[in-house]
Amino acid sequence: MDRHSPADLDSAAPPCTHGGSSQVQRLDHLEQLVHERSAELTWANERLVAALYERSAAEAQAEELRKRDRATGLANRHALEERLDSAVKTHLARGEPAAVICIGVGRLAEVREAHGHAAADAVAQQVGERLQVAVRGSDTVARVGDNEFALLLSNLRQSHDAATVARKLFAALDAPLPFGDHELRLAPALGVAVLPEDAATGDLLLARAAAAMQYAREHGTGLYQFFHPDIAHRSARRLRLEAELNTALERDQFRVLFQPRVRVRDKRVIGAEALLRWEHPERGLLAPEAFLDIAEETGLIVPIGARVLDLACRQAATWPRELSVAVNLAPREFRGTSVAGLVGRALEDTGLAASRLQIEVNESALMRMNETAAVETLAALTGAGVRVVLDNFGAGSASLSALRKVAIDGLKLNGEFLRGAAVGDRDGAIVAALASLGKRLRLRVIAAGIESEEQLAFARKAGIGEAQGFLLGRPMEPLAFRAELKSAPRRRARR
């Protein structure tokens, strides 16, 4: 349709040549142009309205997608927080209880690392379906993190009704889940926080349910864990400790002590184990038990482990060539990083021969690692000439299974067996059997925790080749250990 300006209207009018007749023609022509312009404006208005409707629908769809988890279709954290704020105001005004349940699914991270994001998303989708089936339609089910879900329970008669729901949820998630050609155990951990007892705002209610879930995960408290004030104090301490650990890395506050390892038959020093310590500015020298859990949970164990490995290899490079150094690796170090690459760089940077480095992996921790990644990593280490020892052997529940699957060079026996071996026949029989098993598999057998001559004599009688413990040498500073080696490099280690 042609568009016309007012000037066009004037120029389009026919010339007035016949008086009134020409005036009528001019008016008819103008009316036609006005009608055309009105039709054009009507069409443009209709298009504008349609475009506004389309834009509004697109914005609504985008807003809906913004509030949905892509993999599961569940509400996401943003949507849950909005609903929480509204629900808290309503329930506080009415004096009615409500609750939030946070659910951590431990296996999701392992599936993601071993099989990729698509496989983890498929498992997360099944988790979401189980949760939706287990609760009422009025309850909100959301995915609030890669490995975490949360529920808003808004129709409770009393606060403790949340316990009934938590038990039902645990039963739904604890059942094996089909995964490929086998079944997957999800290892759920549940935390519960209730309104108004535990919090009076939505974000605090969610945070305290998450804190209770974390407590349940770490302490194995059973089906679920209700929030209580001690958990809040503990969470505050953990946050402070995490900040201090970051500062410790920045300010180089981590130290390595060395405990002698000896040959059992003559007590000659053959190396040392590197032991991590934190020189805390206020609390003094801290053993790993005081901070290792936080370091693993936050991922700080990776840079801390790299620092320990470098320090240990750097010191060992200054020792006599026949001595080796042992370094313990935590399970978290096998996630998201190349342990073999980390070890290779440390050896290259320090000039230490691979055969002089012994990597120790706790047997129980090994069972919690992703099996494929652990097997491949340990095989790469042994293939490069690094010695690998299964630490704390005999204390775990899958020892023989581990021996079948992983490439190792030695076994370090759990110290509890050695401490009882001198006085109890049963412990002695266990030590002798484990030592015999190691020898038959052509593995080095190491006794840990030797504290008396009787225990050392029993280890010698059982055919154990190497040992360490307070009897044979306490942990010492690098300079003290080097001085010990210099003064008596081939003498027996002193108590």
3-state secondary structure (DSSP) of residue 278: strand
| pLDDT at 467 (0 to 100) | 94
DSSP secondary structure string for all residues of 411-457:
EEE-HHHHHHHTT-HHHHHHHHHHHHHHHHTT-EEEE----SHHHHH
H/E segment holding residue 271: strand 269-280
* pLDDT per residue as tens digits for the range 386-402: 999 988 887 655 556 66
Question: What are 430-445's pLDDT values in tens digits?
Answer: 888 888 888 888 899 9
Task: Write the pLDDT tens digit of every residue in 344-362.
Answer: 999 999 999 999 999 998 8
Residue written as token pair 């509030």: 67
Domains 75-227 and 240-487 share a fold: no
Stretch 75-79: mean pLDDT, rounded? 90
- φ, ψ (nearest 5 deg) of residue 335: -110, 130
User: Given this model, what pLDDT does residue 494 score?
Assistant: 43
Residue 239 confidence class, pLDDT cut points 50, 70, 90: confident
User: In the chain, what are the domain boundaries?
Assistant: 6-65, 75-227, 240-487
Name which of 78-92, 98-112, 383-397 the model is least confident about.
Answer: 383-397
pLDDT at 23: 78
| pTM for the structure as a whole | 0.63
pLDDT value of residue 158 = 85
Contact criterion met (CB below 8 Å) for 385 and 420: no
pLDDT of residue 489: 45
As given in the structure block, the two tokens for residue 5 are 């300006």
- Distance, CA of 363 to CA of 393 (rounded, Å): 6
Higher pLDDT, 65 or 171: 171
| Top CATH class, 240-487 | alpha beta
Q: Percent of the chain at pLDDT above 70? A: 84
Task: Give the pLDDT of residue 249.
Answer: 92
Eight-class DSSP state of 323: -
CATH number of the 75-227 domain: 3.30.70.270
